[in-house]
Amino acid sequence: MGTFRQISVEDAKVMMDKGNVTIIDIRDSESFEAAHIPRAVSISEKNVEEFIKTADKEKPLICYCYHGFSSQGAAGYFTQHGFKEVLSIEGGFEKWRTLYSSIKA
């Protein structure tokens, strides 16, 4: 079974810039539509099963929510479903926005 850990916004951005990661947003769809981290996929109860079936579980999976709390639970969930490395962004999207708000999704 894989593991999950928290990661800083800065470390997450470094990983994203290098590529070869999957980024998921577990906030509601309205929030996702308004703004999200570039290349993020919106995951909800409606599409989580399909995502688990089709995603590359060998690639690091970075998940985030509003403030970094709900994404910890999600990270544990994806770890239990076979993802090798799952990361939860500390401070969530709000922290990302304060550091990288000039970056458009």
Ordered by start, the domain boundaries in the chain are 3-100
Q: Is the pLDDT of residue 101 over 90?
A: no
- Model confidence at 103, in pLDDT bands (50, 70, 90)? low
| Cβ 23 vs Cβ 13: under 8 Å | no
User: Right CATH number for 3-100 from 3.40.50.740, 3.40.50.620, 3.40.250.10, 1.10.150.530?
Assistant: 3.40.250.10
pLDDT tens for each residue of 54-67: 999 999 999 999 99
pTM equals: 0.92
Torsions phi, psi of 58, nearest 5?
A: -85, -25
Task: Give, for 62, the enclosing helix (H) or strand (E).
Answer: strand 61-64
pLDDT tens track for 34-60: 999 999 999 999 999 999 999 999 999
Residue positions annotated with a catalytic role: 65
- Asked whether the predicted pLDDT for residue 1 surpasses 90, the reply is no
